[in-house]
Amino acid sequence: MTTEKQRLTAFAPCRLAFAGGGTDLPAYADRYGGAVLSAAVSLGARVQVRPLDMRRLTLILDDFELRADYADAADAEHDERPEVALVKHTLAWVRPAGGVEMIVRTGLPPGSGLGASGAVGVATTYALHRLVGREPSPEEVAETASVVEIEKVGRPIGRQDQYAAAFGGLNFFRFAEDAVEREPVALPEPKLRDFRRHFMLFFSGQQRDSAAVLTDQRARIVDGDEQTLARLHRMKELAGEMREALAAYDWPGFGELMHEAWLAKREVSPKVADEATAARCDGARERGAWAVKVTGAGAGGFYLAMAPPAAHDAVASYLAGEGFTPYEFEFDDAGVRVVEEELD
């Protein structure tokens, strides 16, 4: 239980989706059922909250260099700036009785493709619940954050980011109209460490608009575009095949399936990857990578490479020459949690 004058910080991890991203969109999942294989990572969102007197509200959004002060928390509902939309709608959903100061940061570039907005929503939801003395379940946090971002904010996304952030770990998720099923993928710790050391993460320097990519994809699904649906069906199958490769500790096989999943994703929408993006991914494979893909919806942001460790230097050197910046990360198996807690 939290006490009246307590400051706490919640952390929620971002995610790397290996296959199936896009099949969690409601337009697809509600009709066909979706499946995503993903891992939560140590990059993520931190949300610090502390009570304020009366009903005052202060929002400090470090990633946007934005500070907003409201005499009454209800005044935030009239702030139309897109940067505050996610936080203000979450506050309206999980409203503390008094005032609150909230500091939100990810340290990641906007439009990263790592599900950072989902992590922010999850960390915000969890922090506000804990501030009022509640301990919500991961399912409750994930579902609340999903409803807020999809229905209240109106973003054309699915629910994979929120569920990965809430639960943490390596998971196979199934998405349907009325349910999300989580099947943890348990690897012995030495095998998990070995699996992790085959990956490298790079930021391309290009920020992208995931909404444009996902809106186009959703329209193609609704219109019954045969190529789009066929590729999404295959991506869903590949998520299951990659889970089997994990169980067999078949890292090269996993990498080849990840490459196939990326090729399928590129054909879901022309907005996923332009010629330059495709050429960079192919160039890294020519230098020994098993697979290179743009994370998230595509169209820029972060690139995830999987390669035998002996090829890492060649792949990293090539991508550095393309202007990419490496990012260190580890897998995160804890999900959303309080990482700092203190009394005023």
Q: What is the pLDDT of residue 113?
A: 84
The SS3 call for residue 182 is strand
Question: Could you give the CA distance from residue 64 to residue 77 in angstroms, rounded to a whole number?
Answer: 19
Residue pair 174/181 in contact by the 8 Å Cβ criterion: yes
| Whether domain 6-186 has CATH 3.40.366.10 | no
Number of H helices, E strands in the chain: 11, 12
Residue pair 9/161 in contact by the 8 Å Cβ criterion: no
Residue pair 133/8 in contact by the 8 Å Cβ criterion: no
pTM: 0.93
Q: What tens digit of pLDDT does each residue of 37-60 get? A: 999 999 999 999 999 887 899 999
Nearest to 126 by CA among 6, 40, 12, 2: 12
Kind plus residue range of the DSSP H or E element containing 325: strand 325-327
Q: Could you tell me the two tokens for 246?
A: 């994990």
Nearest to 284 by CA among 262, 311, 258: 311
pLDDT < 50 regions, the chain:
1-5
Question: Could you give the CA distance from residue 232 to residue 227 in angstroms, rounded to a whole number?
Answer: 9
Q: Could you tell me the two tokens for 233?
A: 């069906």
Considering the domain delimited by 189-327, tell me its CATH architecture: 2-Layer Sandwich (3.30)
Task: Spell out the domain ranges in the chain.
Answer: 6-186, 189-327
